[in-house]
Structure 1
């Protein structure tokens, strides 16, 4: 099961690298997610960030990585 997931993630990482090459590395996680969704891929920001980090592509919080915006606590 793990090997199958790694193979799928490797293919997914190749698609992400292609999107980054097309944009000269200027794309951030939300934009990459949108591009993949336009191609019919079912994916979310967290998976894109995880695959990018695993493939030695740095993802910063301000670039749409793992961090989420601050939410005010309920009253």
Structure 2
């Protein structure tokens, strides 16, 4: 993992990669960053950032392969959603 984090989500994608999104760390606070983990190679790749940094959110893989990220907290409770 390139950025240490906790309170994130991890979603297994159809291609076998794992999307790790959001969370928090002690140096940066709330994170909007995301990374892809390849379990076949054990490597991490930086992915695009979410629009909103968040913890305590949910992430659901949709039938079309997108990941729906909903809710959470970043100092205030969030009612926003975004597709990843």
TM-score normalised by L of structure 1: 0.27
Looking at CA atoms only, which structure, 1 or 2, has the larger radius of gyration? 1
Whichever structure has more strand as a proportion of its residues is 2
The structure showing larger relative contact order (alpha-carbon pairs under 8 Å, at least 6 residues apart) is 1
